[in-house]
Structure 1
């Protein structure tokens, strides 16, 4: 009897997860809203000794090892650019524009960089984080990131050792290792989401709740990335976004149950969304494209 009841609850739980995932439709038809940080932000950066955007020095052997360690993330997303530790200027520019346009003056961005001492300073400077959580959970996060640098262990399958592209709400820092515009915009979406919160540290605490904690923040960050691309009429990158963000989000929904196979539902739904997108007419983007073609400098080319 007890076994049947447990089986019933497991089926119900699994059904709810599937329903929630399939009903998750990112609202590209909504007007894009630019970021309005809850707290007034000060520009604490300067180009001489503390720029807002920093890139790590390329080291061929080190980055090759990191690229090899990231094989699982490449397999899950089906994209070799995941955790490849070689981020193009074009991909960087996507995030730079996004950060600027969404009024995030105090967010630090590191592209494939390991800088533990500077990260500790950034944690100290982060004024909008709860001090108790910042100097407990924030310091623990810093310690593990210093001990197991994502510059090497990004996207690998070892729990508590490996990380990847992520936003750290305690130090207000985005760390990136993948050369995929949608991925960097997604992490920017996390920074934007957290910046709008009065109690961002407790919001971060809720994110760590097993099973359900990450679902809402991940959906918001993904939604914002896709809507930003729609606002920009970036058809090429938006198309690839459906094949990237849905498998990634699927791992949060089904990861505890399906393991590595958790990305499969996301690939199925993402491909369906991509096919629908190809058949979709976007009047605003069509008009913008026609205006671009009619510009004198475009005609001369």
Structure 2
């Protein structure tokens, strides 16, 4: 009975704002684009949003960010989300900001002809039913519904919101979006989708963001990916679900901070690369010829080490680079 009453109250709150768009696409990228992005924002409900904040505490702890699932999304976060959609020419997406509008979502499911009817009538129904029965307005969790083409935002963390916009971009550019979205439900395959979306966010902030925005994206999304990898590992040992997710997030925090610290403010935008020697440099050494005393068999620099900040085997040629 409590759940039914809660859903009725949420539906009433959603109906109050369903016909009142919060904004269209905003920001520099949007100003130069004709892309239509509709934004709707739920009415603030102090008690309801307070419950949602408490329910979102585990997510806050895993990401070490109190803005996660805080149900108080700033206009700046919304603007960065719509800017990514505009910059990538993603048209027709709805962004719901802390809003519960099941009727509106079922209508969008029926009208979204980007996705084939068989996919909408099966997997799309499951997605939208989940939204209707377990509302994010309470349970949080920023996400993208490809079958209604809707981005749902509950966290005031730009990187998390932009990740969902990146999911929309990734789906829109597929020739079979229904099939592509359905494969996300398969074990391990969903990680590919998640990694692609995060890479799109990194590319976007590297091109359009400040140094702090570039660093924050790595600090937030890398532990998020680690958490998701840990969750997939739990498929093989369900008893370790919480432990795997926590371990994955912890590793992600370490890697994300290393990536953030390695950003060169004066360098070109792009991946944060971790240097390894090329295959040429790793050729076997002629033991008879040896190497001059005090020098590495691979050549400069001397065994004492390379100058601080330089690769240990000299300038990096066109060899192997690895991104975390």
Q: Same fold by TM (over 0.5)?
A: yes
1:64 aligns with 2:50: yes
Post-superposition Cα deviations, 1:212-269, rounded to whole Å, max 9, x if no partner, equal 1111111111011111111014211111111100000011222234133321110111
Of the three residues 145, 164, 169, the one matched with 1:168 is 145
Aligned to 1:289: none
Tell me the equivalent position of 2:10: none
Q: Would you say 1:228 and 2:204 are equivalent positions?
A: yes
CA distance in 2, matches of 1:146, 1:213: 26
Deviates more, 1:129-138 or 1:251-260: 251-260
Structure 2 stretches lacking a partner, 5+ long: 1-28, 235-243, 271-324
CA distance in 1, matches of 2:120, 2:151: 16
1:190 aligns with 2:167: yes
Q: Which residue of 1 aligns with 2:83?
A: 97
Question: Mapping of 1:275-294 within 5 angstroms?
Answer: 275-277=261-263, 279-282=264-267
Once the 2 structures are TM-superposed, how far is the Cα of residue 205 of structure 1 from its aligned partner? Answer: 1.4
Query: Is residue 214–residue 252 contact of structure 1 (8 Å, CA) maintained in 2?
Result: no
Where does structure 1 lack aligned partners over 5 or more consecutive residues?
A: 1-33, 35-41, 46-50, 155-163, 286-301
Among 175, 186, 206, the alignment partner of 2:183 is: 206
- The structural deviation recorded for 1:280 is 4.9
DSSP-derived class of the 2:95 partner: strand
**Residue number among 200, 221, 225 corresponding to 1:245 in the alignment:** 221
Task: Say which SS state the counterpart of residue 214 (structure 1) adopts.
Answer: helix
The equivalent residue for 2:195 is 219
**Whole-Å separation in 1 of the counterparts to 2:255 and 2:181:** 28
Shift of 1:275: 1.4
Larger radius of gyration: 2
In 1: Cα distance, 2:266 partner to 2:54 partner: 40
Q: Deviation of residue 284 (structure 1)?
A: 7.6
* Pick aligned residue for 1:126 from 112, 117, 131: 112
Displacement of 1:146 in angstroms is: 0.8
TM superposition score normalised by structure 1: 0.72
1:160-185 superposed Cα distances (whole Å, 9 cap, x missing partner)? xxxx1001111111001000111111
Superposed CA RMSD? 2.0
C-alpha distance in 1, partners of 2:190/2:269? Answer: 33
Aligned to 1:84: 70
Q: Which has the higher helix share?
A: 1
How many residues were matched structurally? 228
Residues 108 and 249 of structure 1: CA distance in aligned 2, closer, same or farther (over 3 Å): same
